Structure 1
Amino acid sequence: MNNTQTVKVVSFHCKKVIRSLDCVRRICRTADVVALQETWLLPHDISFLGSLDDDFAYTSVSAVDTPAGLLRGRLYGGVALLWRKNLLTSVSVIARSSVRLAAIKIVVKEKSFLIVSVSTNSSENIPEFTECLSEVSTIIESTGVESVYILGEFNAHPGVCLL
Structure 2
Amino acid sequence: MAEAVKYAPNPSNNPSNNSKQGKDEWSTVQYKRRKIINRRGVAQPLEQFNFKAAERKISLYVSRVHKETTPGDIEAFIKYKTDLNVQVYKINKINNEFNAFKVIVPLNSVDLFLNDNGDRFWPADIVFRKFWERKQVGNKRSLKRSLQEIVQLCNSHHIIALQETWLFPHDLGLLNTIHKQFGSHGVSAVDTEQGMVRGRPYGGVALLWDRNIFPNADIVQCNNDRMVAVKLVRGDRSILVFSVYMPTDCEDNFPIMTQCLANISATVPCPG
Residue 128 (structure 1) aligned to one of 256, 259, 264: 256
Deviates more, 1:118-127 or 1:18-27: 118-127
Q: How does 1:30-49 map to 2 (within 5 A)?
A: 30-49=156-175
Aligned-residue RMSD, C-alpha: 2.3
3-state DSSP of counterpart to 1:57: strand
Q: Relative contact order: is structure 1 or structure 2 higher (C-alpha 8 Å, sep ≥ 6)?
A: 1
- Aligned with residue 65 of structure 1, among 172, 191, 212: 191
For residues 18-97 of structure 1, the aligned pairs below 5 Å read 18-71=144-197, 75-97=201-223
Q: After TM superposition, which residue ranges in structure 1, 4 or more long, deviate above 3 angstroms?
A: none
- Residue type of the alignment partner of 1:119: Y
Mark the CA change 1:104 to 1:55 in structure 2 (over 3 Å): closer, same or farther: same
Report if the CA contact (8 A) 1:91-1:107 is conserved: yes
Tell me the CA shift for residue 104 of structure 1. Answer: 0.3
Any conservation in 2 of the 1:14–1:39 contact (CA below 8 Å)? Answer: no
Structure 2 partner of 1:138:
266
Deviation at 1:75, TM superposition (A): 3.6
Q: Are the counterparts in 2 of residues 14 and 20 from structure 1 also a CA contact under 8 Å?
A: no
1:49-80 CA distance string (max 9 Å, x none):
111111111000101011233238x9421100
Q: Is the 8 A contact 2:164 2:204 kept in 1?
A: yes
Q: CA deviation at 1:93?
A: 0.6
Which position in structure 2 is the counterpart of 1:16? 142
Indicate the residue corresponding to 1:115 in structure 2: 241
Q: Which sections of structure 2, spanning at least 5 residues, go unmatched?
A: 1-138
SS at match of 1:137: helix
Once residues 255 and 269 of structure 2 are traced to their aligned partners in structure 1, the CA distance between those partners, rounded to angstroms, is: 21
> Could you tell me how far apart the structure 2 residues matched to 1:34 and 1:16 are?
16
Partner residue, 1:148: none
Residues in 2 aligned to 1:86 and 1:111: alpha-carbon distance in whole angstroms: 15
Shift of 1:15: 4.3
How far is 1:86 from its partner?
A: 2.3
Larger Rg: 2
- Number of residues paired by the alignment? 131
TM-score (norm 2): 0.45
1:155 matched residue in structure 2: none
Structure 2: which amino acid aligns with 1:131? Q
Answer yes or no: is the 8 Å Cα contact 2:213–2:234 preserved in 1. no
C-alpha contact (below 8 Å) 2:231/2:240 kept by paired residues: yes
Q: 2:230 aligns with which of 92, 95, 104?
A: 104
What amino acid sits opposite 2:234 in the alignment? V
How much has 1:14 moved relative to structure 2? 9.0
| 1:26 counterpart letter in structure 2 | Q
- In the alignment, the residues of structure 1 paired with residue 140 and residue 214 of structure 2 have an alpha-carbon distance, to the nearest angstrom, of 23
* TM-score, normalising length: structure 1: 0.73
Percent identity reads 37
Q: CA deviation at 1:136?
A: 0.7
